């Protein structure tokens, strides 16, 4: 038995010894439990074949007997909680009998005398492993350092090592079976729905943990409805006064929104009816948390949040093969009557998000002069958008199923990359989790048009390692939308990124300051520990220094060389001699040792000119500047620029 299992066993024993509220169930409560269980069976029958209903019944009776007359802090029978979690798993996520069974059993080992061995002997290893994973993370508390947390007591991590260990347990469990976190999210959703029974301080702690862990995880799994509800409930308990104020303002402005939406949708309905499609067009109100979050970030009052709602069109395609074509037919119809916002088209049907989301988003000018987003989805896309990856397993077959599995495998691999981090620093480990698993994503393109997903805040160097480890180690610079940029440049969605590589490895200590993804960070640190052990021993101070000073600046300083020629006596026949003119060349490219010698040699070999001034500025591995020449052969300047561009490090060489 390892240390984690021993600690879990000790914790479980203490929890089981804690006295829990208990009293016989009333006939009304018994009847309610039976109705809820029948509802669970109905949910299962609607979303799955229903061929394992007998197994679910056996699991329910086992859990009911184990919890007996125990009650929750709000006074309801304890069995009502696992029943509610199981219904969320079945109805709102669409999972199968194994996940439903794990939901029914998720608290029995923690709160009763039942053991894992009993569950394994009775229901098999798969269910037992899920229950073990859920039990392993059930007692963990997760805190975050954030500027947005309302309660100061939540802003400090009192024991980062303990927090890091909690997250390691969570990630290990997720990497073994993603269904564990799906059931855990359902468990958290029901706890949030019944949070009013707890003291205010505990409400805020759980709300904070929900907002910065479970809501982002729900988003990454494509559980948008659950993610939205978790965010709203978190705000309700973190900032109750602001939540109630926004709720009231939304109610007060509802009539005006309904009037505007009716005016906006009328011409769209006329055109869609003409397409012969079966569809629904409805208004989707922005969540209270989204409104509050925008007010905080933009520093605007409620009255200046103009995108309070979006229009959503959900249609039934004429044939499965025409699904994408029908999306674009609807898009064409809409843009024929409303002015399009060209920078706010989001094509998630050609390139679905990593969590499986598919839709076509277009923003148009509404009748009141404000921009309105329209989301175009098929019924299949809508089900996937609302219920996440579980719906992929229902809809996707063959080659498409492999693509979805690849995305899920990639996410699990990201988790394993984080766990493989050679740097055990607890705070750094927590930052990596927040960036790679809990942040939103960006989507960038390779020059060949392939789409790559990266966490928000990722740099060009992260992109290089996402392509291939060797591309990362040999990266020198990048071109973003055809413009040369340093590897430290942060990327934005929609950009085209090309990595410029060298024949030799370029990895250096300064990279650790701006590499962000778990894969890139682990590769860079492993390399640096092997090749730069002394520098890595004091990396914090080293990186701070190297962020301010580039390699060439350390070697050469600011290079500002000026050569002044002594004036010569003017000859009498000066008018008959070729006129000498001064020409300034603008240069930019990748910084490198010995580059100045290379440049001056090319000038000497290809142009009869005197160098009168050189100014080169170096920053983040790149350089730019100018060289001024005196020459009597202007035609040679064009040839010289061509020869300078042949130098590997030079991106641009042209007359000023």
**pLDDT tens readout for residues 75-124:** 899 999 999 999 999 988 888 899 999 999 999 998 889 999 999 999 99
Residue pair 92/85 in contact (Cβ under 8 Å)? The answer is no
C-beta atoms surrounding 452 within 10 Å: 16
Residues 76 and 130 in one domain: yes
Write phi, then psi, for 477 (nearest 5 degrees): -165, -175
C-beta atoms surrounding 290 within 10 Å: 17
Residues 219 and 295 in one domain: no
Which DSSP string do the residues of 156-217 spell out, in sequence order? S-S-HHHHHHHHHHHHHHHHH-THHHHHHHHHHHHHHHTGGGS-HHHHHHHHHHIIIIIHHH
Write down how long the chain is: 656
Residues 306 and 230 in one domain: no
What is the distance between the alpha carbons of residues 105 and 115, in angstroms, rounded to a whole number? 11
Confidence of residue 20 (pLDDT cuts 50, 70, 90): low
List, in sequence order, every residue forming a beta bridge with 614; answer none if it has no partner.
Answer: 561, 627
Query: Which range has highest mean pLDDT (18-22, 176-180, 243-247, 589-593)?
Result: 243-247
pLDDT of residue 278: 93
Residue pair 365/339 in contact (Cβ under 8 Å)? The answer is yes
pLDDT of residue 547: 44
Q: Using the 3D structure, point to which of 193, 226, 245 is the last residue of a domain.
A: 245
Residue pair 517/651 in contact (Cβ under 8 Å)? The answer is no
Residue pair 553/591 in contact (Cβ under 8 Å)? The answer is no
Confidence of residue 549 (pLDDT cuts 50, 70, 90): very low
Top-confidence residue, 150 or 507: 507
Residues 230 and 324 in one domain: no
Has residue 250 got a pLDDT over 80? yes
- H or E stretch including 328? helix 323-335
Confidence of residue 150 (pLDDT cuts 50, 70, 90): very low
- In terms of Cα–Cα distance, which of 235, 166, 241 is closest to 4? 166
pLDDT of residue 146: 43
Q: Rounded mean pLDDT of 347-373?
A: 87
φ/ψ bin of 35: left (φ > 0), alpha (ψ from -120 to 50), beta (otherwise): alpha
| Tokens (6 digits) for 344 | 């706010």
Confidence of residue 498 (pLDDT cuts 50, 70, 90): very high
- In terms of Cα–Cα distance, which of 473, 488, 477 is closest to 519? 473
Q: Rounded mean pLDDT of 572-596?
A: 68
pLDDT of residue 223: 87
Greatest pairwise CA separation for the chain in angstroms = 122
- H or E stretch including 616? strand 609-619
CATH number at 539 reads 3.10.20.30
Per-residue pLDDT reduced to its tens digit, 213-225: 888 888 878 888 8
The answer to whether residue 299 sits within a structural domain is yes
Residue pair 644/587 in contact (Cβ under 8 Å)? The answer is yes
Q: Using the 3D structure, point to which of 245, 276, 291 is the last residue of a domain.
A: 245
What is the distance between the alpha carbons of residues 518 and 436, in angstroms, rounded to a whole number? 7
| Tokens (6 digits) for 322 | 């025409």
pLDDT of residue 61: 95
The answer to whether residue 429 sits within a structural domain is no
pLDDT of residue 567: 46
What average pLDDT does the structure give for the chain? Answer: 80
Residues 533 and 453 in one domain: yes
Domain count, the chain: 4
- In terms of Cα–Cα distance, which of 574, 587, 561 is closest to 640? 587
- In terms of Cα–Cα distance, which of 213, 453, 490 is closest to 357? 453
CATH number at 254 reads 3.30.460.10
Residues 342 and 452 in one domain: no
Has residue 155 got a pLDDT over 80? no
pLDDT of residue 407: 60
Q: Using the 3D structure, point to which of 484, 514, 548 is the last residue of a domain.
A: 548
Identify the sign of the CA torsion 286, 289, 295, 296. Answer: negative
The answer to whether residue 454 sits within a structural domain is yes
pLDDT of residue 424: 53
- What is the bridge-based pairing of β-strands 371-378 and 309-316? parallel
pLDDT of residue 420: 64
Identify the sign of the CA torsion 462, 466, 470, 475. Answer: negative
Residues 179 and 210 in one domain: yes
Q: Rounded mean pLDDT of 323-329?
A: 93
What is the distance between the alpha carbons of residues 503 and 20, in angstroms, rounded to a whole number? 67
Has residue 396 got a pLDDT over 70? no
Has residue 555 got a pLDDT over 50? no
What is the distance between the alpha carbons of residues 495 and 292, in angstroms, rounded to a whole number? 29
The answer to whether residue 197 sits within a structural domain is yes
pLDDT of residue 405: 54
Residues 79 and 152 in one domain: yes
Distances in whole angstroms, Cα of residue 443 to Cα of each of 227, 333, 361, 522: 21, 27, 15, 22
Residues 513 and 560 in one domain: no
Distances in whole angstroms, Cα of residue 472 to Cα of each of 462, 467, 522: 8, 8, 12
The answer to whether residue 435 sits within a structural domain is no
CATH number at 176 reads 1.10.3210.10
- DSSP annotation of 90: I
Distances in whole angstroms, Cα of residue 276 to Cα of each of 94, 315, 317, 588: 31, 11, 10, 57
Q: Rounded mean pLDDT of 257-262?
A: 92
Tell me the three state secondary structure of residue 534.
Answer: helix
Question: Which value, in Å, is the radius of gyration of the alpha carbons in the chain?
Answer: 31
pLDDT of residue 575: 37
Tokens 């060489």 -> residue: 653
Top-confidence residue, 116 or 387: 116
Angle between helices 179-193 and 80-87 (to 10 degrees): 120
Write phi, then psi, for 456 (nearest 5 degrees): -60, 135
Residues 286 and 366 in one domain: yes
Residue pair 535/542 in contact (Cβ under 8 Å)? The answer is yes
> Picking from 328-337, 482-491, 577-586, 610-619, which range would have the lowest pLDDT averaged per residue?
577-586
Per-residue pLDDT reduced to its tens digit, 419-459: 665 555 555 665 666 665 656 778 888 888 777 888 888 99
Sheet holding 483-485: strands in order across?
483-485, 475-480, 497-501
What is the distance between the alpha carbons of residues 75 and 306, in angstroms, rounded to a whole number? 43
The answer to whether residue 415 sits within a structural domain is no
The answer to whether residue 611 sits within a structural domain is yes
pLDDT of residue 258: 92
| Tokens (6 digits) for 60 | 């329910």
The answer to whether residue 18 sits within a structural domain is yes
Residues 594 and 526 in one domain: no
- What is the bridge-based pairing of β-strands 451-455 and 497-501? unpaired
pLDDT of residue 528: 84
> Picking from 184-193, 391-400, 475-484, 629-638, which range would have the lowest pLDDT averaged per residue?
391-400
Confidence of residue 244 (pLDDT cuts 50, 70, 90): very high
What is the distance between the alpha carbons of residues 347 and 353, in angstroms, rounded to a whole number? 10
> Picking from 82-91, 162-171, 538-547, 596-605, which range would have the lowest pLDDT averaged per residue?
538-547
pLDDT of residue 449: 76
Has residue 403 got a pLDDT over 70? no
What is the distance between the alpha carbons of residues 425 and 536, in angstroms, rounded to a whole number? 13
- DSSP annotation of 567: P
Residues 291 and 239 in one domain: no
What is the Cβ-side half-sphere exposure of residue 338, based on CA atoms within 13 angstroms? Answer: 27
Domain membership of residue 639 as a residue range: 556-655
């Amino acid at each position: 038995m390892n240390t984690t299992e021993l600690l879990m066993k000790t914790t479980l024993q203490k929890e089981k010894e804690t006295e829990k509220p208990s009293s016989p169930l009333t006939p009304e409560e018994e009847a309610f439990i039976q109705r809820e269980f029948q509802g669970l069976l109905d949910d299962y029958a609607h979303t799955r074949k229903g061929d394992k209903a007998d197994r679910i019944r056996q699991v329910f009776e086992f859990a009911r007997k184990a919890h007996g007359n125990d009650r929750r802090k709000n006074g309801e029978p304890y069995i009502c909680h696992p029943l509610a979690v199981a219904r969320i798993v079945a109805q709102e996520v669409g999972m199968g009998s194994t996940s439903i069974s794990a939901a029914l059993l998720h608290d029995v080992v923690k709160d009763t005398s039942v053991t894992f061995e009993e569950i394994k002997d009775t229901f098999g290893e798969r269910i037992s492993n899920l229950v073990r994973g859920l039990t392993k993370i059930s007692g963990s508390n997760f805190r975050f350092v954030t500027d947005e947390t309302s309660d100061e007591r939540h802003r400090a991590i009192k024991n980062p090592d303990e927090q890091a260990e909690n997250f390691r347990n969570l990630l290990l469990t997720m990497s073994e079976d993603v269904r564990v976190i799906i059931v855990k999210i359902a468990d958290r959703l029901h706890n949030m729905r019944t949070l009013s029974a707890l003291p205010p301080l505990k409400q805020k702690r759980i709300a904070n943990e929900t907002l910065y862990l479970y809501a982002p995880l729900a988003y990454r799994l494509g559980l948008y409805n659950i993610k939205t509800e978790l965010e709203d409930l978190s705000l309700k308990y973190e900032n109750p006064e602001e939540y109630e104020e926004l709720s009231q303002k939304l109610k007060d402005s509802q009539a005006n929104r309904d009037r505007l939406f009716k005016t906006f949708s009328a011409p769209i309905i006329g055109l869609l009816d003409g397409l012969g499609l079966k569809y629904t067009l409805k208004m989707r109100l922005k969540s209270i948390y989204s409104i509050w979050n925008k007010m905080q970030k933009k520093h605007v009052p409620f009255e200046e949040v103009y995108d309070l709602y979006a229009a959503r069109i959900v249609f039934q395609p004429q044939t499965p093969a025409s699904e994408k074509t029908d999306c674009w037919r609807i898009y064409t119809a809409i843009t024929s009557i409303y002015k399009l916002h060209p920078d706010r088209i989001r094509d998630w049907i050609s390139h679905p998000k990593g969590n499986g989301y598919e839709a076509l988003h277009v923003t148009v000018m509404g009748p009141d002069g404000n921009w309105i987003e329209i989301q175009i989805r098929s019924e299949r896309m809508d089900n996937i958008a609302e219920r996440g990856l579980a719906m992929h397993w229902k809809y996707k077959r063959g080659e498409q199923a492999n693509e979805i599995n690849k995305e899920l495998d990639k996410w699990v691999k990201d988790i394993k990359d984080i766990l493989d981090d050679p740097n055990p620093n607890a705070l750094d480990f927590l930052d990596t989790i927040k960036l790679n698993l809990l942040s939103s994503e960006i989507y960038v393109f390779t020059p060949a048009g392939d789409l790559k997903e990266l966490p928000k805040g990722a740099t060009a160097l992260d992109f290089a390692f996402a392509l291939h480890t060797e591309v990362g180690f040999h990266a020198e610079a990048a071109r973003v939308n055809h413009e040369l940029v340093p590897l430290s440049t942060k990327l934005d969605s929609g950009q085209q990124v090309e990595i410029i590589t060298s024949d030799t490895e370029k990895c250096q200590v300064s990279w650790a300051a701006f590499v962000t993804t778990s894969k890139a960070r682990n590769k860079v640190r492993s390399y640096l520990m092997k090749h730069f052990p002394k520098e890595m021993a004091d990396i914090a101070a080293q990186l701070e220094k190297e962020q301010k000073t580039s390699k060439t600046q350390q070697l050469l300083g600011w290079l500002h060389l000026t050569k002044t020629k002594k004036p010569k006596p003017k000859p009498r026949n000066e008018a008959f001699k070729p006129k000498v003119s001064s020409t300034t060349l603008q240069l930019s490219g990748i910084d490198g040792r010995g580059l100045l010698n290379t440049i001056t040699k090319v000038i000497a070999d290809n142009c009869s000119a005197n160098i009168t001034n050189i100014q080169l500025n170096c920053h983040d591995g790149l350089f730019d500047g100018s060289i001024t020449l005196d020459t009597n052969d202007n035609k040679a300047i064009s040839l010289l620029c061509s020869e300078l561009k042949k130098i590997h490090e030079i991106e641009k060489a042209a007359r000023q």
